């Protein structure tokens, strides 16, 4: 059976950190006990084996180094053995300064605008997201989780308060969008994609069909409005010529390259430009938009649309297989688009960067104050616990190094002392 994919690498849990810290403490303390035991043992045996004096010197210095470093490490977090020795329990006594320093460090080194912008430029969110989606099992896992969350999302959205808030938010969002420029941009997109001429062809085809289907009414109408002395056959001939002329004209206008088509596109492009930049059209668009949004029928229609969406979500939330399949298809399409479309990938990254900057930059001071307030609000035990769990394990290496290095230095001093004692200094003056 293949391993289940994991969305996020499992973090180092508090229990794991506590176990690691205790393990390193036992190791450092055990080394101290070993050196103390070695010192005692060699103290009894040196009378029988003089060479043990070197081992005893190493053990003695190791005990001194271990105790000194134990004191230094413990003094950072608390009073050693509970004694209120000056300049101990350094971190709890410096809590306010730590809070301010941590806040300033983060704000100045991570949230400062120029630093933040440099960091954001290096972010390739699209690449990271597409690569993650390509890993086997991730799309299936994410789509399955989305399907499992769908019933809760549907229930949440159907609450009366949420319904009203979202409906009002939709009306407010529509009210903030400039109507005239939006209409101009939409018309420009329609023109660029050829939809304008497609719509025109459809419209004239409908006109042509309507004229042909109602040819008898056209003949009757022409006959009714001509003089009585005009023969009936002539009225019919005039009507047929008129119907034929309309049909031929429409057919010509639907042919590519017809001057009318170029002129229609030019007129539409000019009007789109005016919609985007003409102040008079802008004001007219805002008045029309305000009148439309103020109409109770519009609010009622928005409410009905949102209610339909809610019903669709609620009824569809019971079908996990369909939701999961739709989510999987959407994620696969997203991954392929981000991989193959350079413009979309650039736009996606730019959107992520602007979104992060828009959240962080205006609130950097607030973030710093929040960090400072949180740290200042911790009691001494909480502060010591959190800091010790982060760095305490590494600090135990200081105790271990102090034990080993202290022993080596003690052995070196002891050896040098014996060499100097055995050396006759008077020979230097003869």
Task: Spell out the SS3 assignment of the chain.
Answer: CCCCCCCCCCCCCHHHHHHHHHHHHHHHHHHHHHHHHHHHHHHHHCCCCCCHHHHHHHHHHHHHHHHHHHHHHHHHHCCHHHCCCCCCCHHHHCHHHHHHHHHHHHHHHCCCHHHHHHHHHCCCHHHHHHHHHHCCCHHHHHHHHHHHHHHHHHHHHCCHHHHHHHHHHHHHHHHHCCHHHHHHHHHHHHHHCCHHHHHHHHHHHHHHHHHHHCHHHHHHHHHHCCCCCCCHHHHHHHHHHHHHHHHHHHHHHCCCCCHHHHHHHHHHHHHHHHHHHCHHHHHHHHHHHHHHHHCHHHHHHHHHHHHHHHHHHHHHCCCHHHHHHHHHHHHHHHHHHHHHCHHHHHHHHHHHHHHHHHHHHHHHHHHHHHHHHHHHHCCHHHHHHHHHHHHHHHHHHHHHHHHHHHHHHHHHHHHHHHHHHCCCHHHHHC
Shared domain for 179 and 314, answered yes or no, is yes
* Percent of the chain predicted with pLDDT > 70: 83
Mean pLDDT of 192-201: 80
236 and 321 share one domain:
yes
Global pTM exceeds 0.85: no
Average pLDDT of 363-372? 78
- Kindly state whether residues 176 and 319 are assigned to the same domain: yes
Confidence of residue 263 (pLDDT cuts 50, 70, 90): confident
Q: Which residue segment(s) compose the domain that 49 sits in?
A: 18-93+378-429
pLDDT at 10 over 50: no
State whether 320 and 199 are in the same domain. yes
Closest CA to 268 of 193, 174, 179, 177: 193
Query: Can you give the pLDDT at residue 313?
Result: 62
- Indicate the residue among 325, 345, 362 that finishes a domain: 325
Looking at the structure of the chain, the number of domains it has is 2
What is the average per-residue pLDDT within 203-221? 76
Residue 141 tokens, joined = 């896992």
Report the pLDDT value the prediction gives residue 229, as an integer from 0 to 100: 59
pLDDT tens, position by position, 159-184: 677 767 776 777 777 777 788 888 88
Residue 230 lies in a domain: yes
Given 301, 325, 349, the domain boundary residue is: 325
Structure tokens belonging to residue 134: 């390509």
Is 8 inside any structural domain?
no
| 311 is a domain residue | yes
**233 and 306 assigned to the same domain:** yes
320 and 419 belong to one structural domain: no
In 3D, which of 294, 273, 298 has the Cα closest to residue 180? 273
pLDDT, average across residues 301-315: 68
Question: Of the candidates 287, 309, 325, which is a domain's last residue?
Answer: 325
Residue 135 above 90 pLDDT? no
* Residue 184 lies inside a defined structural domain of this protein: yes
Structural domain includes residue 107: no
308 and 407 share one domain: no
pLDDT in tens, 388-425: 777 778 888 888 988 999 899 988 988 888 787 755 54
Query: Do the domain assignments include residue 331?
Result: no
pLDDT at 61 over 80: yes
**Domain annotation covers residue 9:** no
Residues 183 and 304 placed together within one structural domain of the fold: yes
Residue 343 lies in a domain: no
Q: What is the pLDDT of residue 33?
A: 93
Distance CA 402, CA 20 (A): 20
Q: Inform me whether the pLDDT recorded for 279 exceeds 80.
A: yes
Q: Note whether 187 and 57 are same-domain residues.
A: no
- For 139-152, the pLDDT digits (tens) are 888 887 777 777 77
* Cα distance between residue 323 and residue 325, in whole Å: 5
Least confident of 243-247, 299-303, 420-424: 420-424
Whether residues 210 and 312 fall in one domain: yes
Q: Are residues 215 and 276 in the same domain?
A: yes
Dist CA 327 CA 179 (whole Å): 33
Do 214 and 308 reside in the same domain of the chain? yes
């Amino acid at each position: 059976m293949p391993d289940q994919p994991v969305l996020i690498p499992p973090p180092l849990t508090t229990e794991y950190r506590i176990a690691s810290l205790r393990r390193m403490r036992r190791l450092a303390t055990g080394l101290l006990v070993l050196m103390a035991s070695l010192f005692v043992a060699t103290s009894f045996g040196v009378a029988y084996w003089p060479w043990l004096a070197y081992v005893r010197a190493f053990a003695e210095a190791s005990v001194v180094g271990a105790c000194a470093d134990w004191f230094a490490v413990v003094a950072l977090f608390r009073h050693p053995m509970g004694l209120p020795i000056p300049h101990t329990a350094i971190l709890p006594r410096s809590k306010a300064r730590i809070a301010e320093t941590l806040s300033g460090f983060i704000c100045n080194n991570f949230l400062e605008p120029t630093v933040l912008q440099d960091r954001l430029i290096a972010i390739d969110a699209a690449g990271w997201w597409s690569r993650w989606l390509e890993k086997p099992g991730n799309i299936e896992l994410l789509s399955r989780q989305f399907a499992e969350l769908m019933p809760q999302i549907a229930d949440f959205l159907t609450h009366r308060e949420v319904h009203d808030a979202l409906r009002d938010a939709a009306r407010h969002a529509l009210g903030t969008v400039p109507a005239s420029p939006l209409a101009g941009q939409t018309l420009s997109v329609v023109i660029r994609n050829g939809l304008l001429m497609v719509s025109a062809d459809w419209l004239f085809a409908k006109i042509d069909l309507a004229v042909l289907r109602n040819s008898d009414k056209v003949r009757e109408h022409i006959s009714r409005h001509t003089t009585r002395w005009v023969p009936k056959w002539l009225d019919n001939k005039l009507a047929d010529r008129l119907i034929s002329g309309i049909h031929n004209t429409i057919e010509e206008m639907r042919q590519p390259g017809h001057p009318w088509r170029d002129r229609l596109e030019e007129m539409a492009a000019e009007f789109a430009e005016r919609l985007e930049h003409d102040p008079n059209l802008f004001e007219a668009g805002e008045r029309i938009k305000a009148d439309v949004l103020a109409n109770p029928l519009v609010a009622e229609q928005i409410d009905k649309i949102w209610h339909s969406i809610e019903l669709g979500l609620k009824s569809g939330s019971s079908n996990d297989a369909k939701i999961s399949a739709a989510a999987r298809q959407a994620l696969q399409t997203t991954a392929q688009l981000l991989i193959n479309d350079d413009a979309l990938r650039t736009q996606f990254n730019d959107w992520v960067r602007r979104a992060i900057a828009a959240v962080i930059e205006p609130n950097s001071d607030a973030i710093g104050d929040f960090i400072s307030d949180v740290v200042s609000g911790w009691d001494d035990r909480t502060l010591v616990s959190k800091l010790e769990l982060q760095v305490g394990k590494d600090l135990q290496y200081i105790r271990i190094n102090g034990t080993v290095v202290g022993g080596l230095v003690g052995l070196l001093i002891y050896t040098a002392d014996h060499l100097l004692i055995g050396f006759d200094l008077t020979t230097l003056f003869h």
